Amino acid sequence: MTTIAVLADPPREGLVATDLAATSPLTEAEAAEWYEAVLKDVLVAVDRSGGDLLVNYRPDDLLPDDHVTETASEAAVRAVAASTLDDLDDVRFEPQVGSTISARAGNTVTHLLREEGVTSAAVVDPTIPFLTRPLIDNAAMKLRRSEVVLGASTRGRVYYAGFTAPIDFTDAYADPPLETLTAGGRDADLDVDFLPVQPVVETGDDLLDALPLLNARVDAERPVPVHTATVADELGLRVAYGEGERRVVRD
Residues with Cβ < 8 Å from 123, sequence gap 6 or more?
Answer: 4, 5, 7, 56, 105, 108, 109, 160, 161, 162
Percent of the chain residues past pLDDT 70, beyond the cut = 100
Lowest mean pLDDT among 106-115, 201-210, 238-247: 238-247
Give the number of C-alpha atoms closer than 13 A to the C-alpha of residue 159, restricted to the C-beta side: 26
Mean pLDDT computed over 41-58: 97
Q: Is 169 exposed, middle or buried (0-12, 13-18, 19+ CB in 10 A)?
A: buried
Average pLDDT of the segment spanning 54-64: 97
Q: Is the pLDDT of residue 62 over 90?
A: yes
List, for residues 11-49, the tens digit of each pLDDT value: 999 999 999 999 999 999 999 999 999 999 999 999 999
Instruction: Give 5: exposed, middle or buried? Use CB within 10 Å, 0-12, 13-18, 19+.
Output: buried
Mean pLDDT, residues 178-183 taken together: 98
- pLDDT exceeds cutoff 90 at 244: no
Q: What is the pLDDT of residues 144-180, one digit of tens each?
A: 999 999 999 999 999 999 999 999 999 999 999 999 9
Residues in a beta bridge with 150: 161, 194
- In angstroms, the Cα distances linking 237 to 38, 43, 231 are 15, 23, 9
Query: Does residue 1 register a pLDDT over 90?
Result: no
* 206 touches 187 (CB < 8 A): no
Domains of the chain: 2-200 (3.90.550.10)
Q: What is the pTM of this model?
A: 0.96
Q: What is the pLDDT of residue 242?
A: 83
